[in-house]
Amino acid sequence: MNDLEQHTDILSLIRVRMSGLSKGHKRIAEYILANYEKCAFLTAAKLGEVVGVSESTAVRFPAALGFSGYPEFQKALEDILQEKIHSFDRIDVLNSHMTTNMVVNNVMSMDARKIEHTLKSFDTASFDMAVEDIMAAESVYIIGARSCEPLAEFFGYYLRLVKKNVQVVKTGNTNELFEQMMYIGEGDVAIGISFPRYSMRTLKAMEFANNRKARVIAITDSVHSPMNMYSSCNLFARSDMASIVDSLVAPMSLINALIVSICLKNSDQVVENIEKINTFVDNFEYSGNDEINMLDENVVNELRKCMDNAAIDEEK
């Protein structure tokens, strides 16, 4: 086992390799050990500039530690940052060291990596089980609190194209939460969506569904998530804090894949429901231009009469 495999903490790896580094690489190593929270957001060029070495020296530094390249090295710094730095510290780091372009590139690159990591650890069997459970369910209850609430709403909105009895459970009040799930039971499915910081209300709703003998599906971040306690099917998506907010790009992508899979297995029903919606819109909703300058001429004349009458009243 090499040092890179043995030392999961990049800071301890740097300390182990320090004595064998070149003069320029030692300067980089010393700076990282003292300022690792800043280095996670720096490009190789910026790191070289800050330390006082050439960009090429900074680019070669990860290889001296055993990394395949700078992106893998930077990812290792991001991982330790997730563990050791708090939200308010992140704000200070971002404000001090990142331009707008750096923020955009960093956040989007990190989001892309989260989807990539989710795909690498994807469990096809669990995914297929979730699809089958949802399709077979008499009623589906979707629970997502706080930042996960938009995920639940998105899931519910599109799932209604396929199934009749889909309810997105509102989690603002504990009593109302259980009232909405009053009729859940055997033959139904509850889908709990929760990521760090985990929601106790979502967990309690999943426990309630499990006690009522409903199938429970957890959409969460890992096998260590408490959401797995009451679920019969677990789907994992990478969700880390990119800066000061939770990144839910990978969970959204996973939910999107669930929706597409369910719709493909019920394509005839989806087409029929969309046609019904279009018919309802044509029959019951005015779809013309509703701008004020496009009013019917009779309406315009009536408005003018009202204005004229008002002017006459003022003169009196």
- Give the tens place of pLDDT for each residue, 292-303: 454 455 544 555
Nearest C-alpha neighbor of 216 from the set 179, 246, 181: 181
Residue with tokens 């019951």: 284
pLDDT in tens, 96-148: 556 667 667 777 877 788 888 888 888 899 999 999 999 999 999 999 988 88
Q: Strand, helix or coil at 234?
A: strand
Classified as helix, coil or strand, 168 is strand
Q: Are residues 127 and 94 in the same domain?
A: no
185: number of Cβ within 10 Å = 13
The CATH number of the domain holding residue 150 is 3.40.50.10490
Same structural domain for residues 30 and 83? yes
What is the span of the domain harbouring residue 23?
3-98
**What whole-number distance in Å separates Cα of residue 274 and Cα of residue 162?**
10
State the pLDDT at residue 60. Answer: 92
Residue 292 falls inside a structural domain: no
User: pTM above 0.85?
Assistant: no
Asked if the structure places residue 80 within a domain, the reply is: yes
Residue 113 within a domain? no
Q: How many CA atoms lie within 13 A of 226 on its CB side?
A: 12
Domain identity same for 66 and 205:
no
User: Are residues 20 and 73 located together in one domain of the fold?
Assistant: yes
Q: Is 296 left (phi over 0), alpha (psi -120 to 50) or beta?
A: beta
Return the pLDDT at 213.
92
| pLDDT in the model for residue 234 | 92
Length of the chain: 316
Q: CA neighbours within 13 Å on the CB side: how many for 160?
A: 12
181: left (phi over 0), alpha (psi -120 to 50) or beta: alpha
Tokens found for residue 13: 């790896």
How far apart CA 206 and CA 225 sit, in angstroms, is 13
Structure tokens at 18: 């320090």
Q: Strands of the chain (E only): list them.
A: 140-144, 166-169, 189-193, 215-220, 233-236
Q: Tokens in use for 257?
A: 């894949």
Write the CATH number for 70. 1.10.10.10
**237 and 150 in contact (C-beta within 8 Å)?**
no
Residue 88's pLDDT is 44
Q: Which pLDDT score is estimated for 126?
A: 92
Query: Is there a contact between 134 and 258 (Cβ–Cβ < 8 Å)?
Result: yes
Are residues 191 and 149 part of one domain? yes
Q: What is the DSSP letter of 172?
A: S
| 132 and 88 in a common domain | no
166 domain residue, yes or no: yes
Indicate whether 139 and 249 sit together in one domain: yes
Say how many domains are in the chain.
2
Predicted confidence at residue 296, as pLDDT, reads 52
Q: What pLDDT score does 295 carry?
A: 45
**Predicted pLDDT at 75:** 79
Give me the tens of pLDDT residue by residue for the chain, a chain 316 residues long. Answer: 344 444 346 888 888 888 889 999 999 988 888 877 777 767 888 888 888 999 999 999 999 988 888 888 887 887 766 555 444 445 455 555 566 676 677 778 777 888 888 888 888 999 999 999 999 999 999 999 888 899 999 999 989 888 889 989 987 777 788 888 889 999 999 999 998 778 888 888 898 999 999 999 999 988 878 888 888 899 998 876 544 566 788 899 999 999 988 888 877 776 776 777 666 666 665 555 545 454 455 544 555 565 566 555 555 5
- CA–CA distance, 290 with 287 (Å, rounded to integer): 8
